[in-house]
A = this chain, B = another copy of it.
Amino acid sequence: MSELRKDPIVGRWVVVAKERAKRPNEPRIAAAPRDAQDLCPFCEGNEAHTPPEVAAFRHPGSHSNGPGWRVRVVPNRFPALRVEENLEKQGDGIYDRIAGVGAHEVIIETPVHQSSMAAMRPEGIREVLWIYRDRLLDLKNDRRFVHGTLFKNVGAAAGSTLEHTHSQLVVSPVVPTAIQEELDGSRLFFDHRGRCVYCDMIRQELAAESRIVVDTSGFTAFCPYASRFPFETWIVPKHHSSRFDQIGKSGVDDLGHVLHEVLFKLERGLDGPAYNYYVHTSPFDQPDSPHYHWHLEVIPRLNAVGGFEWGSGFHLNPVPPESAAAFLREVDVPPASAVAGLPERTREPRRALVRV
């Protein structure tokens, strides 16, 4: 179905569809299924419109693939990588490829049609975090898989095609480039200074205060010094840990609170922007590391990325992170149970808004 191909110059991996797209000028992978034009496949009651669930938190007495769930995980209908394939590695002259083995799952965060995670109740956000952890722990048992990327797309500009709030998990047979760069960079820092660069960063941010957005006993949310995107915000645990899947109850409670605050501030303050977030965590097969530190990065997608950025690898950020953090700090967050005041699109009727 797909294969992973490696650029022979910089070592970058690309997931390439093996078959010709239906029309060559229709290159979307994750187009909404045809039968979703008039109903939302992620709403409770429409379970038959998704592939069979692989996990769910359900009310007692409810049954798989029927109503009665609170969070539900299903395979992606248009998976980038598939569990079924054999892990075949091949060369072709100077090129390398691997069969597209892996997993691609969708985490449906709530049974109610809701476009905003920030409008969810805190218990709901916590259950999403718990099921993130459960899926990672389950999939790492398959020895072909080496890493899982949890991510979220909100809005068309951020790559989303379905409105109902959801996240995704892609488990891959190679360590993603972005993770490898962080592993290498944080090891270099550790080898030189004997400390974790993320722990150092938290200390410096808390002392400087200017880039802090939210701070609790367990987590710090700040706009990083070298923010690529306006209002980019990282959420980093204060207690060193290289693996998200080692999070416990107090961590989930605290992260759920901080994530809600950050997303609410972004949605309210920036009028419902497109954004992504993703979790950066250690590869499955690596032991606990003193130099790597898991974290979550939120990137609002307010401006187009152009030829300068793609061509140079530089980013242009017109909003200094100090200004972004000051702005976000001033956005008031009401008690988590009150959703009033969120941008209008969070209260749309129960239908699929397909954003292409």
Contacts and interface: CB of A to CB of B under 8 A. Distances in A.
Interface of A: 5-21, 24-25, 27-29, 80, 92-95, 149, 151-153, 156-160, 168, 170, 172, 176-182, 184-186, 189, 197-198, 200-201, 204, 224-228, 230-231, 269-271, 276-280, 297, 299, 302-321, 323-324, 327
Q: How many copies does the complex hold?
A: 2
Most buried by B among A160, A270, A277, A323: A323
A interface SS class: mixed
Contacts of A92: 225
Most buried by B among A94, A170, A271, A297: A94
A12 B176 contact: no
Contacts of A14: 226-228, 314-317
Contacts of A228: 12, 14
A299 B14 CA distance: 14
B314 A13 contact: yes
7 contacts: A9-B197, A27-B318, A149-B312, A158-B306, A159-B303, A172-B314, A177-B314
Contacts of A15: 314-317
A307 B160 CA distance: 9
A158 B307 CA distance: 7
A118 to B, nearest CB: 16
